[in-house]
Amino acid sequence: MPLLFKTEENMVETTIIKEKKRDIYSSFHSQNYSSKFFFKSILHHVISLEVYENNNSDGISFETICSNVPKSIGSRSSIQAILNDALKSDIFFKFQSKKDKRIKNYYLSETYFDLINKWIKKEESYFLNRNGG
């Protein structure tokens, strides 16, 4: 039996859910391929977050991405295809590792880094509003 009671808390959560859905759906209609890419699939999303997390260090290798992303989200070949698409679209860049010259690491483009930072700030605002901040 579904929960049918409405409280002020439920209304805030419902507003957040509607806003998040609107952001995701509107990205598919965006003229900006980077916006589409970020929400294209859960695999695109987590790969972007993996690269973002390591962007200011030595980047992140294909092997590390593959070991971090659960197999149920995406296979090695799917990860490679997404990385290649990101490289072709100038969303990611690939450079030789400073620590091991045999390894190439992925980094975000400056514009994609900014796009994710804006997304993070928007996410923060959802939770600040949710928690009365």
DSSP-assigned letter for residue 94:
E
Question: Residue 15: inside a domain, yes or no?
Answer: no
Per the structure, the count of domains in the chain is 1
Q: How many beta carbons lie within 10 A of that of residue 2, not counting itself?
A: 3
Question: Residue 113: inside a domain, yes or no?
Answer: yes
pTM here? Answer: 0.85
Amino acid (1-letter code) at residue 33 = Y
Q: Provide the 3-class DSSP secondary structure of residue 92.
A: strand
pLDDT in tens, the chain (133 residues): 565 555 555 677 888 888 888 888 888 888 889 999 999 999 999 999 999 999 988 899 999 999 999 999 999 999 999 999 999 999 999 999 988 999 999 999 999 999 999 999 988 887 776 665 5
Question: Please, are residues 58 and 98 in contact by the beta-carbon 8 Å criterion?
Answer: yes
Residue range(s) defining the domain that contains residue 118:
31-127
Q: The domain that contains 43 carries what CATH number?
A: 1.10.10.10
pLDDT, tens digit, for every residue of 94-128?
999 988 999 999 999 999 999 999 999 988 887 77
Least Cα distance to 104 among 67, 74, 63, 52 occurs for 63
Q: Which residues pair with 94 in a beta bridge?
A: 106
